[in-house]
Amino acid sequence: MKRSSICHLITLLAALACAGWNSAKAASPATGLMGVVKSADRKPLEGVPVSAKAQGSTITTSVYTNQSGEYYFPPLPGGQYQMWAQTVGFELTRAEQTVSPGKKIQQDFTLKPFAEAWKQLSDAEWFASLPDDTAADRKMKRVLLYNCGTCHNSGFVLEKRFTPADWGLIISRMSRISGSYDPPYGLDCCGGVSYPGGDQIPGGGKFAKAMLDDENKPIGAERRILEFYKNDIIDYLSRVRGPESSPLKLNPFPRATGESAAIVVTEYDIPSKDGRTLGRLDPKSGLTTQFRLTSDGATVRNDKPYYHNNEFRDGSDWSRGQRVSYQEEGQHDLILGRDGYVYLSPSIGVGLDPQGNIWYGNDMAVKFDAKAEKLTPFPLPKGWPIFYNGKDIDSRGNFWAAELNGAYRLNPKTGEYTEFKSRSPLGRPYGLTVDSEDNVWFAQIAIDTLGYVDGATGEVGEVKLPPIDDEEMSAADRAVGWGWTMNQPLYGKGPRRLRADMKGDSLWVCEYFGGRLAKIDIHAKKVTEYKLPGWYRYAYPYEPVVDKNHTVWFSLGNADALGRFDPATAKFTFYPLPTRGANGRHIDVDNTHATPEIWVPYDAAGKVARIQFRSPS
Amino acid sequence: MNLRGGMISVLALACLLAPIALAAQEAESSARAQASSSADQKRGASLPVLNQQQRRGEALFVQNCPLCHIPSKQKKTLGIQGPVLRGMYGEDADQDSLWQIIEQGIPGKMPAFRFTLDSKQIDDVIAFLKAGAPSKTPGVAN
């Protein structure tokens, strides 16, 4: 054999070995837990999730059936397992099995029809099922999308039915909540400080005309939007989700096939926590150790955290309806450590420094020394606005955080914070990330603008996203001013969180309300946008992450799915998640495997998920 | 005041507010961070064990009720805080009165849930309330 052939053979064998079980197996293995899922009329069902959870375990493993209705699990630890299979329109069906490593265990499922299939819909499927025949109805769907979805899974709203008076009562209360965050007046608007710009509005300028609430207090940018659409929303909800017969046309998405169904989803229950507690999940055992920063600066370790789980509200049974963000103790952000652990941040935004330490924070930066297992706080100067959502670490180990006026940089060696003010005022900095050249980017969600701090010069600049111009809206809709995070105009896109290709020159941005991905050339600052296909328009893309192959993965708050975008082909692929109402937010990628693995925390379902990819059978 | 009337009054007070939306997601995290306390583990250890029906009721409760009936600083500031139902009702609470409030609501104050919850679900919610409504709803120091 020629030397080159031997090299090729070695390379091939090495590649197969590295690919491992998770991505290499196309056919069912000879041993393990497996079976077939059929409907009551004996037809195989493809794309059905089958889940298994061992007694006393925090780990649920789910796989999907192929076109023959067959499924098989990866090797599972021995034990007594609860199993279940379900899909929209079919009853959840349970089974129990004892798994012994090395043995073949066959568990078939026959799913009966489920009459109340609407209860099982994902949030985006709710939107797909709403009336869509007129321009007015299509617009109202987007009005709901732009005014309810920062706080609520859409299904949480749409599964309920009230009289017009009661919808009116509820929306009025919603308006007051919006006003609480209302720039420039809302009490909770501005990072714990009174906005120094007085009457300034998002993006600059002042309101042309004052608006007052019931107590003669001025109404700001966000509440103005909700008040503008308030009566339309009440009328619409009263029609589509009122006491009378609902004009829904059940429209579930097609079940996953081929590549989309060739995944293994491992979900980990997460324990209760408070705002000062960092979780460290061991993916092998499924156990979480917590580290809490006490008020006197000490670190307290807890190896037996409290779990408050309830199977009726954790999204594992789709027929239980939709979640809301407060329903389960969800996890908003996570990050993969260099030590094999998964870190569960107590607040939004988390970073990993060059030494492998974890950084997060809400009102101050906190560093977790992963080796010493010690938390260290870095207090903000008094009177400075607290952090907004995004945090990251640059190549020099500086901590960065989004904030009211732009971004902070913390030098960990000196504890000194420096503020970099955005060019546009009140843009509501949200996500923040560092690109491959140490430029720091922050999404100004309220004004469809991306701010950046040049990594070499410290100069601040901006990139504007163009307004939506390909969807139906009136002149009055276009005259609505900028909002904030909860209410936005129909022409807005809402850039939420963003991540860079660390092996390239692209920055990727999720346009939450606009239902698009944006690619920014970090040198030319050129913007290229990609619309999510079909009903994924309503799926709330939240955050992207770019793997070592330049593939873009993104979380979807409203669709119980993981998105994938191949920049080379501009092709979108969606992978289902087995929990209903998961509300995926943050996302991270494990590039240590031949085939990258994706991690998504569920903000509304008390779990975090790892998604592994098989070769389609 | 008879028992039934008294119960309705208590419920009317308890249900002053309709379900309301929560704060923005990013603010939620902040609220979670600040409102929860280190007593989580202690509180968890002290929570009663719920039976199957009460657990179903807890799930329905947190899906339909906590937006008014779980306290927060923000809701108090806005004047839209409903009374906390935790511990308000015991085994002997009047079933009919609870049923009526949930099903019919209170005009102008609390929406009627008769179009959203079926009778079995209302029973489940009441079973949970009678267990003391010991929900450890995320993000709030209840």
pLDDT in tens, A508-563: 999 999 999 999 999 999 999 999 999 999 999 999 999 999 999 999 999 999 99
3-state secondary structure of A610: strand
Whether the CB of A150 is below 8 Å from some CB of chain B: the reply is yes
- Report DSSP state, residue A602: B
pLDDT at A184 (0 to 100): 86
pLDDT at A25 (0 to 100): 43
pLDDT at position A8 over 70? no
pLDDT at position A404 over 90? yes
A572 vs A554: CA distance, rounded Å: 10
* ipTM value greater than 0.90: no
pLDDT at position A278 over 80? yes
Give contacts of B59 with chain A, Cβ < 8 Å. Answer: 310, 312-313, 320, 327
Q: How far is CA A350 from the centre of its chain?
A: 14
Query: What number of other Cβ atoms are within 10 A of residue A216's Cβ?
Result: 6
Closest CA to A612 of A104, A177, A61: A61
Tens digit of each residue's pLDDT (9 = 90 or more) over A427-447: 999 999 999 999 999 999 999
Which residue among B29, B111, B112 places its CB closest to the CB of A348?
B29
- Report DSSP state, residue A482: -
Mean pLDDT of A310-329: 82
Give contacts of B116 with chain A, Cβ < 8 Å. Answer: 159-162
Interchain proximity A176–B56, CB inside 8 Å: no
Interchain proximity B20–A386, CB inside 8 Å: no
More confident site: A50 or A208: A50
CA-based nearest distance B76→chain A, Å: 11
pLDDT at position B142 over 50? no
3-state helix, strand, coil in chain B (%, to 5): 55, 0, 45
Nearest CA in chain A to B26: A389
Tens digit of each residue's pLDDT (9 = 90 or more) over A560-587: 999 999 999 999 999 999 999 999 999 9
> Residue A325 — pLDDT band, cuts 50, 70, 90?
low
Interchain proximity B40–A306, CB inside 8 Å: yes
Give contacts of B40 with chain A, Cβ < 8 Å. Answer: 272-274, 306
More confident site: A14 or B45: B45
Q: Quick one: tokens of A558?
A: 């409203």
pLDDT at A326 (0 to 100): 60
Task: Work out the mean pLDDT of chain A and round it to a whole number.
Answer: 92
Interchain proximity A308–B80, CB inside 8 Å: no
pLDDT at A327 (0 to 100): 59
Q: What is the percentage of chain A residues whose pLDDT exceeds 70? A: 94
pLDDT at A39 (0 to 100): 98
Interchain proximity A386–B30, CB inside 8 Å: yes
Q: How many CB pairs under 8 A join A and B?
A: 176
Which residue among B24, B32, B59 places its CB closest to the CB of A275?
B32
Contact map slice: A 258-287 vs B, CB within 8 A: 272-276
A129-165: b or e for each residue (b if 16 or more CB lie within 10 Å)?
Answer: bbbeeeeeeebbbbbbbbbbbbbbbbbbbbbbbbbee
Interchain proximity B74–A188, CB inside 8 Å: yes
Which residue among B22, B25, B30 places its CB closest to the CB of A362?
B30
Whether the CB of A156 is below 8 Å from some CB of chain B: the reply is yes
Interchain proximity B33–A274, CB inside 8 Å: yes
Residue from B16, B17, B20, B25 to probe the interface with A (highest A Cβ count within 10 Å): B25
Give contacts of A180 with chain B, Cβ < 8 Å. Answer: 23, 74, 77-78
Task: State in Å, rounded, how far the first CA of chain A is from the last one.
Answer: 33
pLDDT at position B14 over 70? no
What phi and psi values does residue A141 have, to the nearest 5 degrees? -60, -40
Mean pLDDT of A487-502: 98
**C-alpha angle A230/A177/A149, rounded to 5°?**
70
Contact map slice: A 429-468 vs B, CB within 8 A: 430
Interchain proximity B26–A160, CB inside 8 Å: no
Interchain proximity B26–A485, CB inside 8 Å: yes
> Residue A197 — pLDDT band, cuts 50, 70, 90?
low
A163 backbone φψ class: left, alpha, beta (φ>0; ψ -120 to 50)? beta
pLDDT at position B1 over 90? no
For A105, A151, A237, B107, the CA distances from A243, given in Å and listed in that order, are: 48, 25, 10, 16
**C-alpha angle B96/B98/B103, rounded to 5°?**
90
Contact map slice: A 558-597 vs B, CB within 8 A: 585
Interchain proximity A173–B111, CB inside 8 Å: no
Interchain proximity B18–A170, CB inside 8 Å: yes
Residue from B16, B29, B62, B135 to probe the interface with A (highest A Cβ count within 10 Å): B29
By the 8 A CB rule, do A463 and A398 touch?
Answer: no
Nearest CA in chain B to A328: B138
Contacts of B92 (CB under 8 A, 6+ apart): none
pLDDT at A617 (0 to 100): 54
Interchain proximity A326–B36, CB inside 8 Å: no
Write down how long chain B is: 142
Interchain proximity B116–A187, CB inside 8 Å: no
Give contacts of A320 with chain B, Cβ < 8 Å. Answer: 59
pLDDT at B30 (0 to 100): 37
Closest CA to B60 of A306, A119, A578: A119
Half-sphere exposure of A233 (CA within 13 A, CB side): 25
Interchain proximity A329–B138, CB inside 8 Å: yes
> Residue B47 — pLDDT band, cuts 50, 70, 90?
low
CA-based nearest distance A314→chain B, Å: 9
By the 8 A CB rule, do A515 and A534 touch?
Answer: no
Write down how long chain A is: 617
Half-sphere exposure of A222 (CA within 13 A, CB side): 31
A285-317: b or e for each residue (b if 16 or more CB lie within 10 Å)?
Answer: ebbbbbbbbeeeeebeebeebbebbbebbbbbb
pLDDT at B72 (0 to 100): 79
Task: Work out the mean pLDDT of chain B and round it to a whole number.
Answer: 70
User: DSSP readout, A290-340?
Assistant: EEEE-TTS-EEEESS------TTTSSSSGGG----TTTS-----EEE-TTS
**C-alpha angle B2/B4/B7, rounded to 5°?**
105
Q: What is the percentage of chain B residues whose pLDDT exceeds 90? A: 31
Which residues does residue A60 pair with via DSSP β-bridges, in sequence order?
Answer: A53, A267
Which residue among A176, A276, A485 places its CB closest to the CB of B24?
A485
pLDDT at A250 (0 to 100): 92
pLDDT at A315 (0 to 100): 93
Whether the CB of A331 is below 8 Å from some CB of chain B: the reply is no
Q: Any long-range contacts for A41-46 (C-beta under 8 Å, 24+ apart)?
A: A42/A110, A43/A69, A44/A68, A44/A69, A44/A70, A45/A69, A45/A87, A45/A90, A45/A111, A45/A255, A46/A255, A46/A256, A46/A257, A46/A261
Which residue among B20, B59, B140 places its CB closest to the CB of A173?
B20
pLDDT at A199 (0 to 100): 82
Closest CA to A182 of A152, A211, A141: A211
Which residue among B22, B58, B108 places its CB closest to the CB of A326?
B22
Mean pLDDT of A23-45: 86
Q: Quick one: tokens of A17?
A: 């070995």
Q: A17-26, A63-72, A607-616 — which is least confidently predicted?
A: A17-26
Q: A356-365, A597-606, B81-90 — which is least confidently predicted?
A: B81-90
Contact map slice: A 290-309 vs B, CB within 8 A: 292, 294, 302, 305-308
pLDDT at B74 (0 to 100): 79
Nearest CA in chain B to A326: B138
> Residue A99 — pLDDT band, cuts 50, 70, 90?
very high
SS3 per residue for A182-228: CCCCCCCCCCCCCCCCCCECCCCCECCCCCECCCCCECCHHHHHHHH
pLDDT at position A19 over 50? no
Edge to edge, the sheet with strand A460-464 lists A429-434, A440-444, A449-453, A460-464
Residue from B16, B17, B32 to probe the interface with A (highest A Cβ count within 10 Å): B32
**Model-level pTM?**
0.90
Which residue among B17, B25, B34 places its CB closest to the CB of A151?
B25
pLDDT at A190 (0 to 100): 84
